Amino acid sequence: MTESAPFLAHHSQAFKASPFYYKNESAYQQWKVTKLAHYPTTINQLIVPISNPKQLTTIELQQLKDLLLKTNMVIYAIEGELGQQADKSIPEHIGRQLGISALDKNECADADGFTSIQVVDAGLHAIYIPYSNKGINWHTDGYYNRLSEQIYSMILHCVRPAQEGGDNKLWDPDIIYMMLRDKNPDYIKALMSANAMTIPKNVLGGQLIRPDRSGPVFMITQDGRLHMRYSARQRNVIWHNDALTQEAQQVLRALLDRPSEYQFQGRLAAGQGLICNNVLHTRSTFKDDPKQPRLLYRGRYFDAIKPSV
């Protein structure tokens, strides 16, 4: 049984009018032209310098929103000494100025709702890959959450990068949707089904932490945006066992791994941060400086960033 969620019903007129409805070809083609026009081709084009993260200028805020509208992601770069501070209020203030504040205070988050992403050798954090120096495959954050508590946006603020490695690859879900649909619109139909992707239950020490969670990969939100939940992990995902879904997920995985002008790669420097509407991302393995280990602050939000002003 699937959970209720703030997504358009497949039979509704709003769903059928959306460019993301796999049968609405005219609206899709119009959207596609707008989406691809002047789309960035290098990660440097995603970077917006800011002077005071706690009080963005009108121009800085507009630049951040413009890029978010175009690519679903943007990277801020704090100029001066403020960018060198280990201060979780920096991403918090940036988020509030962008209209997001509903943090997902999950079991691994700190008391303030943000999560310190660093290597942890003991306790609850130690069993999860993000708190190690291992690589992480393609995913969107919170793909295992219930559908009514999806992660719509995220801020990842870098205090200290790793000595070596720790790079991220980034994909705009809109672009991946486009590539998949252009290959076969039926792939979209399959990946929008209510049981396309199931994340198995999580049991620790005999205690149920999370039950099985089933849901679509692609969803259309009530305000008409595309939302994606995905993980490329092999052992932690059960794909619906029909031929079309199986083919669609294999093509999707191949697209993610294929080099493309639309895929960005880089490593956040101290004082830089990724703001996004939960784009697809990876992390490479890394090596720490023992005296200054890698540290990032992550905020996961139940709000979506609305780029328009």
Using a CB cutoff of 8 Å and minimum separation of 24, what contacts does 40-44 make?
Answer: 40/67, 40/70, 40/71, 40/264, 41/261, 41/262, 42/264, 43/75, 43/170, 43/264, 43/265, 43/266
Residues 137 and 280 in one domain: yes
**Percentage, residues of the chain above pLDDT 70:** 95
Does 126 have pLDDT greater than 70? no
Residues 165 and 299 in one domain: yes
Do 115 and 212 fall into the same domain?
A: no
The structure's pTM equals: 0.94
Q: Is residue 123 part of a domain?
A: yes
Angle at 186 between CA 235 and CA 39, to 5 degrees: 85
Confidence of residue 12 (pLDDT cuts 50, 70, 90): very high
Average pLDDT rounded to a whole number, residues 276-296? 96
Q: Is 31 a member of any domain?
A: no
**CA gap 147, 193 in Å, rounded:** 13
pLDDT of amino acid 309: 42
In a domain, 251, yes or no: yes
- Check whether residue 214 and residue 148 sit in a common domain: no
Residues 203 and 164 in one domain: no
- Specify the higher pLDDT residue, 211 or 307: 211
Same domain, 188 and 308: no
Residue 273: Cβ within 10 Å count: 25
pLDDT at 149: 95
Q: How confident is the model over 223-268, as pLDDT tens digits?
A: 999 999 999 988 889 999 999 999 999 999 999 999 999 999 999 9
Per-residue pLDDT, 2:
42
Please report whether residue 179 resides in a domain: yes
* Sign of the CA dihedral with 183 first, then 233, 303, and 46 last: negative
Query: pLDDT by residue (tens digit) across 93-124?
Result: 999 999 999 999 877 778 888 999 999 887 66
Q: Residues 46, 120: one domain?
A: yes
273 in the same domain as 139: yes
134/202 Cα distance (integer angstroms): 20
In this structure, the answer to whether residues 229 and 301 fall within a common structural domain is no
Is 84 inside a domain boundary?
A: yes
Q: In angstroms, rounded to a whole number, what is the distance separating the alpha carbons of residues 157 and 159?
A: 7
CATH code of 99's domain: 3.60.130.10
Report the candidate in 92, 102, 45 with the shortest Cα–Cα distance to residue 71.
45
In terms of domains, do 202 and 220 share one?
yes
Please give the Cα distance from 117 to 296 (Å, whole number): 5
Last residue of a domain, one of 261, 277, 297: 261
Tell me, yes or no, whether 76 and 163 share the same domain.
yes
pLDDT of residue 73: 98
Whole-number Å distance between alpha carbons of 263 and 43: 9
Do 250 and 184 form a contact (C-beta atoms < 8 A)? Answer: no
**Domain assignment present for 113:** yes
Cα 44 from Cα 255, distance rounded (Å): 23
Note whether 248 and 140 are same-domain residues.
Answer: no
Tell me which residue range forms the domain holding 241.
1-9+173-261
* Structural domain total, the chain: 2
Alpha helices (H) along 162-284: 173-183, 185-191, 243-257
Q: What is the mean pLDDT of the chain?
A: 93
148 part of a folded domain: yes
In a domain, 49, yes or no: yes
pLDDT of residue 170 exceeding 60: yes
Backbone angles phi, psi at 302, to 5 degrees: -80, -10
Instruction: Identify the band that residue 42 occupies on the pLDDT scale cut at 50, 70 and 90.
Output: very high
